Chains A and B, each alone.
Chain A
Amino acid sequence: MNEILGMFQGLANGFSIAFSLTNLTFALIGALLGTIVGILPGLGPAATISLLLPLSFKIGSPVTSIIMMAGIFYGAMYGGSTTSILVNIPGEAASVVTCIDGYQMALKGRAGPALGIAAIGSFIAGTIGIIGLTFVAPPLAEFALKFGPPEYFALTLLGLLMATLLGGSSFVKGLIVVVLGLLLGSVGLDPISGAIRFTWGFFMLQEGVDFVTLAMGMFGIGEILINLEKELTTELVTRKITHLWPTLKDWAESKWAILRGSFIGFFIGILPGGGAVVSSLVSYAVEKKVSKHPEEFGKGAIQGVAGPESANNSAASASFIPLLTLGIPGNASIAMIFAALLIQGVQPGPFLITERPDVFWGVVASMYIGNVMLLVLNLPMVGMWVQLLRVPYAILAPIIVLFCCIGVYSVRNTVFDIWVMGIFGIIGYLFRKVDLEPGPLILAFVLGPILERSLRQALLISAGSPFIFFKRPISGTIMSFLLIFIAFQILARFRWRKRL
Chain B
Amino acid sequence: MGRVKHPGPGFLPFGLALCLIILSLALIFKSWKGNISSTPFWPQRTWLRPLLGVSIFIFYALAIERLGFLLSTFPFLIIWMRLIERVRWRTLIGISIGTTAGLYFIFVFFLEVPLPTGFLK
Contact surface of A with B, Cβ cutoff 8 Å = 55, 58, 172-173, 175-176, 179-180, 182-183, 186, 190, 192-193, 195, 197-198, 221, 224-226, 228-230, 392, 394-395, 397-399, 401-403, 405-406, 409-410, 413, 415, 418-419, 422, 425-426, 429, 433, 451-452, 455-456, 459-460, 463-464, 466
Please give me the 4 A-B residue pairs with the lowest Cβ-Cβ distance, nearest first.
A464-B5, A394-B85, A190-B9, A398-B80
Contact partner, A459, options B7, B41, B113, Cβ 8 Å: B7
Contact partner, B112, options A58, A197, A456, Cβ 8 Å: A58
Contact partner, A410, options B3, B81, B91, B113, Cβ 8 Å: B113
29 contacts between A and B (CB under 8 A): A172-B26, A172-B30, A173-B27, A175-B19, A175-B23, A176-B24, A180-B20, A182-B12, A186-B13, A193-B9, A225-B53, A226-B50, A228-B49, A228-B52, A394-B81, A394-B87, A398-B81, A402-B103, A403-B103, A406-B69, A409-B116, A413-B113, A415-B65, A422-B58, A422-B61, A426-B54, A459-B4, A463-B5, A464-B4
Return chain A residues, CB-CB under 8 Å to B95. 395, 399
Contact partner, A192, options B9, B17, B26, Cβ 8 Å: B9
B93 to chain A, nearest CB (A): 12
Given contacts A176-B20, A455-B12, A459-B7, contact A415 B27 (CB under 8 A): no
B13 touches A459 (CB 8 A): no
> Number of contact residues on B: which range applies?
35 or more
CA distance A464 to B6 in the complex (A): 7
B47 to chain A, nearest CB (A): 8
Contact partner, A413, options B10, B12, B50, B114, Cβ 8 Å: B114
Return chain B residues, CB-CB under 8 Å to A192. 9
A422 touches B54 (CB 8 A): yes
CA distance A197 to B6 in the complex (A): 18
A34 to chain B, nearest CB (A): 19
CA distance A419 to B65 in the complex (A): 12
The chain B residue with its CB closest to the CB of A190 is B9
Per DSSP, are chain B's interface residues mostly helix, strand or loop, or mixed?
helix
B4 touches A58 (CB 8 A): no
Contact partner, A179, options B7, B19, B64, B103, Cβ 8 Å: B19
Q: Mark B87-100, 1 if CB is under 8 A from A, else 0.
A: 10001000100010
Q: Which of A172, A175, A180, A228 has the most CB of B within 10 A?
A: A228
A176 touches B27 (CB 8 A): yes
Contact partner, B61, options A183, A415, A426, A460, Cβ 8 Å: A415
Further 5 A-B residue pairs, CB within 8 A, beyond A229-B49, A398-B80, A459-B5 = A183-B17, A192-B9, A225-B50, A398-B77, A464-B4
CA distance A455 to B26 in the complex (A): 26
Q: Is B101 an interface residue (CB 8 A)?
A: no
The chain B residue with its CB closest to the CB of A174 is B23
Return chain A residues, CB-CB under 8 Å to B27. 172-173, 176
A452 touches B12 (CB 8 A): yes
A228 touches B50 (CB 8 A): yes
Q: Mark B30-63, 1 if CB is under 8 A from A, else 0.
A: 1000000000010000110110111001101100
Return chain B residues, CB-CB under 8 Å to A409. 64, 115-116
CA distance A399 to B81 in the complex (A): 10
CA distance A173 to B27 in the complex (A): 7
